Amino acid sequence: MGTFAVTGAASGMGAASAAVLRAAGHAVIGVDLRDADVIADLGTESGRRHAVEEVLSLAGGVLDGVAAVAGVGPDLPDAAAVVSINHFGPVALLDGLRPALERSGAGRAVLIGSNSATTVPAVDEELVRLALAGDEAGARERAATTQATSSGAAPSIAAYASSKFALARWVRRTAVTPEWARRGVVLNAIAPGAVLTPLMLGSTGDAAAQDPDEFATPLPVGRFGRPEDIAFWVHQFLRPEAGFTTGAVLVVDGGTDAVMRPEAQPTVLVP
């Protein structure tokens, strides 16, 4: 049995992921703003440092896996905070815990993105560039500026979609670097769609959760996702058998991305 860290462990997909891992006999170190083994705000540099230090202490410096699930939705009024929490939080946490994953001999990491990165026409390429460059101050400023000139029911939708897009691209770039791939640590992402969590309901309201056919984006399977639907794949990515899978972004959204962008995957290699 192994030792795993799960962020966002107090509710939603994080709680479901922690439950699945515990049911499999693993030790789980939960990280969240409340009701967790480690209380930390991943939206701040000091909170990220604290989370890394506490997880390493509780794990004895060795981790078998990390599930970076914590995040906020587009309903959060502060677009700059959305970028810090959704992108810079998991990136800093995984960078800080990578050596502990390496020490296990077969470390696995998975983070939660979103299908909004590919199904919402609001991705800000400049914000993505700043995020991938590690410029948190610049990314926060860009998010706040974009928010001030936009309108809509979700005040931070551009920051949300852009932060999740940047996160997926970070996974693709980082997973294949020698520091990860050649040291036995695999890194993957899951891009959920409409999953019934407090985060989704905060963004869409209870009414949207009652009829999938009335949702803003199509759901070919005819139902919303459940936290357990995502927790299943979190567990799969963290299993030892997943050691040959890295740099993957798995869309788990009931077919939304496929029906909206049927020709997007696969694409041919352009020399």
Residues with a catalytic annotation lie at 160
Taking alpha carbons only, the member of 188, 193, 81, 99 closest to residue 144 is 81
d(CA 110, CA 90): 10
Contact 34, 97 (CB under 8 A): no
Taking alpha carbons only, the member of 265, 264, 260, 253 closest to residue 221 is 253
Contact 233, 253 (CB under 8 A): no
Amino acid found at 228 = E
CA 41 from centre of chain: 15
Burial 227-238 (b: 16+ CB within 10 A, else e): bebbbebbbbbb
| Strand residue runs (E) in 99-195 | 108-112, 186-192
The residue whose two tokens read 């560039």 is: 129
| Residue 162 backbone dihedrals phi, psi, to 5 degrees | -70, -40
d(CA 129, CA 138): 10
